[in-house]
């Protein structure tokens, strides 16, 4: 780069750096473009044109699915590789003393130098991606003209383009930030790779620790946290949280926080890189570090990931808290030594770094103690009944049934069960409180173990807020617990499952309305054929009788943890000559205005069907007295 004239205009300084950097690194951009075209339009074109003979397979949805696969497994990984290479090539001059002295002696401000090279790198990465997607769109146009395919996924293609430009900017800004903070190119590479791999593992293990120690913790909604410090890993997250169709991409609500976080952190990284580069001393080139804080954080994260990981391995193999902590200490020390030796190219700074290792171990011990003692009352938080408006309840033995439209799309879910009656709310709170009291009485302070899931509760409070907890209990290792073992927790769960509202809303048979009945079949013994009940009035009465019997039996039935209703299993009962099998088959229907089905379908007013369309029951006179008597009186058991 030869500049003999000092530009007083900042834009001209930036432009000279920008254009020269583009020219200098144009080769990497050309290679990137060629590989992109081979991986996307060329490969996609071969697949599509070779499939034209099977036009029934060439639908917009299938092509969108193919694009999703190509982007996920070829384009995104390749792009991340070239982002890393480009950032290193453009900013490695800071890591060489001669190059640093040369570039900083040029009549160009550091601001112009930084943004000229930064935007040149982004251009080298972004322009080939735009060209590649445009060529892909041309391929799709040619295929559509040849095969007359409806619903070509042009929207999906260009939404992927936008998404890729975003992740290019995020990962590129991150890599540049690491380069600015590092003294050598080797340290920059080590830092980027280490934090990219170790951070998600470290955060995952910390969250799993909460789940292992703290009863009531809800393990969900942590996608953004798991990848908040690892943009390379985060680049793959939205791919698994989007629905890809020929009309475009639909993202889940969790992705809003994800993109907001990365939008903010990208701006912070760019500004921080610029400010740090302006303040960076030329003597830092080829030094161990330019700015120590990022390396300290990375070293701590790596030590934590390895330490906690080894702790879990020893805990799983040897058992006990002592084995876990021994693994944490041993793993953290080993990882700390390795990463420090790599950074310093030797052991000369190892002793000076040990206080940071000790600090991590102390903080980890405090973290463990907080979780083991209930995290400041998190484990005992149960609202009062008069504070609760309604409850969403998902018990461990509740079937996951759905309400579907005629095309099979889910428009409502039976689980979690929405409870509003005061008696139901009080029953849930009593069960939750009994479980909390049992855990505190027998297992406090908590130790790492697999909690036994009993249910998940979401309280909708009258002040508009929500409180979500999993209801979990510990298996008592000192006593042999069976389904018959009595406890207040079990008694309260029995009372909850015997509530009329819960039974009615959790059992799909109560969502069956008269207009949903297709056929009712009665088979006695091992007969090859049975009696078909076709008269509408008889079917409606029989449905009412069956629902009454199920409600009565369920309300008086004793339940146990993880045990389904015996009525739900009755269809699998061994059949003898006296067995009466009644099967209700349903069809699509329009639910009544004030039915419980209507409460789940929301604004949808068309025909619906249930995810379970056939309901078989073994009719026993003791459990189904009304149903049995009706069948007997009307001659269906002859």
Confidence at residue 575, expressed as pLDDT on a 0 to 100 scale: 62
**Which helix (H) or strand (E) segment is 471 a member of?**
strand 466-473
| 638 to 323, 523, 624, 632: CA distances (angstroms) | 68, 10, 18, 8
Confidence at residue 336, expressed as pLDDT on a 0 to 100 scale: 97
State the CB neighbour count (10 A cutoff) for residue 622.
7
State yes or no: pLDDT of 117 exceeds 90: yes
What average pLDDT is seen over the chain? 87
Q: What is the pLDDT confidence band of residue 638, given thresholds at 50, 70 and 90?
A: low
Confidence at residue 484, expressed as pLDDT on a 0 to 100 scale: 47
Q: Which has the closest alpha carbon to 139: 26, 288, 292, 37?
A: 37
pLDDT (average), residues 319-328: 93
* pLDDT tens figures, 479-497: 555 544 458 888 899 899 9
pLDDT > 90 fraction of the chain, expressed in percent and rounded: 50
| 49 to 40, 132, 397: CA distances (angstroms) | 14, 18, 50
State yes or no: pLDDT of 571 exceeds 50: no
State yes or no: pLDDT of 189 exceeds 50: yes
Q: What is the pLDDT confidence band of residue 532, given thresholds at 50, 70 and 90?
A: confident
Among 53-62, 212-221, 291-300, 625-634, the minimum mean pLDDT is found in 53-62
Confidence at residue 246, expressed as pLDDT on a 0 to 100 scale: 45
State yes or no: pLDDT of 572 exceeds 70: no
Beta bridge partners of 617: 582
* pLDDT tens figures, 235-287: 988 777 665 544 445 566 667 788 889 999 999 999 999 999 999 988 888 87
Nearest-angstrom CA–CA distance, 361 and 329: 7
Task: Please tell me which of 121-125, 227-231, 462-466 the model is most confident about, judged by mean pLDDT.
Answer: 121-125
What's the token pair of residue 482? 């069976």
Confidence at residue 479, expressed as pLDDT on a 0 to 100 scale: 54
Considering the entire predicted model, what is its pTM? 0.84
Confidence at residue 201, expressed as pLDDT on a 0 to 100 scale: 96
Confidence at residue 355, expressed as pLDDT on a 0 to 100 scale: 96
| 570 to 370, 550, 617, 630: CA distances (angstroms) | 47, 12, 6, 20
**Continuous H helices in 227-349:** 231-234, 254-279, 292-318, 321-344
Confidence at residue 370, expressed as pLDDT on a 0 to 100 scale: 96
Instruction: Give the single-character DSSP code of 589.
Output: B
Among 43-57, 164-178, 326-340, 347-361, the minimum mean pLDDT is found in 43-57
pLDDT (average), residues 332-348: 94
- Evaluate whether 109 touches 75 at the Cβ level (below 8 Å): no
Nearest-angstrom CA–CA distance, 377 and 507: 35
Confidence at residue 8, expressed as pLDDT on a 0 to 100 scale: 65
- Evaluate whether 422 touches 385 at the Cβ level (below 8 Å): yes
Q: What is the pLDDT confidence band of residue 60, given thresholds at 50, 70 and 90?
A: confident
What's the token pair of residue 300? 């701590």
Q: What is the pLDDT confidence band of residue 2, given thresholds at 50, 70 and 90?
A: very low
| 575 to 115, 523, 580, 581, 615: CA distances (angstroms) | 79, 11, 8, 9, 17
pLDDT (average), residues 541-554: 90
Confidence at residue 4, expressed as pLDDT on a 0 to 100 scale: 45
- Evaluate whether 180 touches 286 at the Cβ level (below 8 Å): no
| 239 to 203, 385, 466, 545: CA distances (angstroms) | 20, 42, 29, 50
Q: Which residue has the higher pLDDT, 620 or 437?
A: 437
């Amino acid at each position: 780069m030869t500049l003999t004239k000092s530009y007083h205009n900042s834009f001209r300084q930036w432009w000279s750096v920008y254009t020269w950097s583009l020219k200098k690194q144009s080769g990497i951009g050309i290679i990137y473009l060629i590989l992109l075209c081979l991986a996307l339009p060329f490969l996609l074109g071969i697949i599509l044109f070779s499939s034209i003979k099977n036009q029934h397979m060439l639908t917009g949805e299938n092509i969108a699915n193919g694009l999703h696969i190509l982007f996920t497994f070829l384009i995104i990984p390749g792009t991340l590789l070239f982002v890393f290479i480009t950032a290193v090539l453009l900013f490695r001059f800071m890591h060489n003393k001669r190059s640093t002295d040369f570039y900083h002696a040029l009549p160009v401000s550091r601001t112009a130098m930084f943004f000229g090279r930064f935007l040149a790198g982004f251009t080298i990465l972004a322009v080939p991606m735009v060209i590649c997607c445009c060529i892909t769109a041309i391929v799709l146009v040619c295929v559509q003209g040849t095969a007359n395919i409806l619903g070509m996924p042009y929207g999906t293609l260009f939404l992927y383009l936008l998404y890729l430009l975003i992740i290019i900017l995020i990962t590129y800004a991150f890599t540049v930030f690491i380069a600015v903070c590092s003294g050598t190119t080797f340290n920059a590479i080590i830092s980027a790779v280490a934090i990219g791999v170790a951070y998600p593992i470290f955060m995952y293990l910390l969250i799993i620790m909460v789940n292992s120690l703290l009863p009531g913790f809800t393990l969900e909604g942590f996608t953004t946290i798991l990848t908040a410090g690892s943009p390379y890993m985060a680049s793959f997250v939205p791919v698994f949280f989007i629905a890809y169709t020929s009309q475009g991409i639909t993202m889940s609500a969790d992705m809003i926080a994800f993109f907001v976080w990365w939008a903010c952190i990208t701006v912070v990284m760019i500004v921080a890189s610029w400010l740090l580069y302006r303040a960076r001393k030329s003597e830092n080139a080829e030094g161990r570090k330019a700015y120590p804080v990022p390396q300290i954080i990375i070293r701590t994260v790596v030590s934590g990931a390895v330490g906690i990981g080894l702790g879990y391995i020893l805990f799983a193999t040897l058992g006990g808290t002592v084995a876990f902590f021994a693994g944490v200490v041993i793993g953290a020390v080993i990882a700390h030594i390795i990463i420090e030796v790599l950074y310093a190219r030797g052991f000369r700074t190892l002793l000076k770094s040990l206080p940071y290792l000790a600090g991590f171990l102390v903080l980890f011990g405090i973290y463990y103690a907080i979780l083991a003692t209930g995290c400041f009352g998190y484990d005992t938080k149960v609202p009062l009944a008069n504070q609760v408006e309604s409850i969403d309840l998902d018990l461990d033995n509740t079937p996951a049934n759905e309400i579907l439209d005629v095309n099979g799309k889910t428009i409502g879910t039976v689980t979690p069960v929405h409870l509003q009656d005061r008696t139901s709310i009080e029953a849930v709170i009593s069960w939750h409180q009994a479980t909390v009291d049992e855990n505190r009485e027998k297992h406090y302070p908590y130790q790492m173990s697999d909690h036994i899931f009993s249910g998940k509760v979401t309280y909708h409070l009258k002040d508009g807020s929500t409180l979500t907890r999993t209801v979990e209990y510990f298996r008592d290792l000192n006593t042999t617990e069976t389904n018959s073992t009595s406890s207040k927790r079990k008694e309260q769960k029995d009372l909850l499952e015997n509530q009329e509202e819960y039974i009615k809303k959790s059992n799909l048979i109560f969502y069956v309305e008269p207009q949903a009945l297709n056929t009712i079949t009665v088979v006695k013994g091992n007969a090859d054929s049975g009696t078909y009940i076709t008269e509408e009035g008889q079917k409606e009465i029989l449905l009412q009788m069956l629902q009454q019997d199920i409600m009565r039996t369920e309300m008086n039935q004793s339940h146990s943890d993880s045990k389904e209703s015996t009525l739900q299993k009755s269809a699998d009962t061994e059949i003898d000559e006296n067995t009466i099998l009644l099967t209700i088959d349903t069809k699509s229907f329009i639910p009544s205005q004030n039915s419980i089905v209507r409460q789940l379908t929301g604004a949808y007013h068309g025909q619906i069907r249930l995810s379970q369309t056939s309901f078989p029951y073994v009719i026993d006179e003791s459990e189904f007295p009304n149903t049995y008597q009706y069948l007997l009186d009307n001659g269906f058991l002859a």
